[in-house]
């Protein structure tokens, strides 16, 4: 993954977190907050911890 791809991924993740935080700020429900927290954790795992398998070329 190149630097530009990684940078764009981090920016997209930050925008997702900002959007979801605005949603929870205007609709303060516990169940919605739990779903949004799980969503952010899954996206963060996929972006920062998940290892891409090597290509067989």
What does the pLDDT look like over 15-45, one tens digit per residue? 999 999 999 999 989 999 999 999 999 999 9
b/e 5-16 (16+ beta carbons within 10 angstroms → b): eeeeeeeebeeb
Please report, for the chain, how many H helices and E strands are present, in that order. 2, 0
Residue 18: predicted pLDDT: 95
Q: How far is residue 57's CA from residue 8's CA, in Å, rounded to a whole number? A: 26
Residue 2: predicted pLDDT: 81
Q: How many CB atoms lie within 10 A of CB 36?
A: 19
Confidence of residue 11 (pLDDT cuts 50, 70, 90): very high
Confidence of residue 56 (pLDDT cuts 50, 70, 90): low
């Amino acid at each position: 993954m190149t630097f530009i791809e990684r940078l764009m991924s981090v920016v997209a993740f930050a925008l997702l977190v900002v959007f979801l935080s605005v949603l929870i700020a205007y609709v303060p429900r516990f169940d919605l907050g739990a779903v949004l927290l799980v969503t952010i954790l899954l996206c963060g795992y996929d972006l920062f911890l998940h290892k891409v398998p090597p290509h067989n070329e």
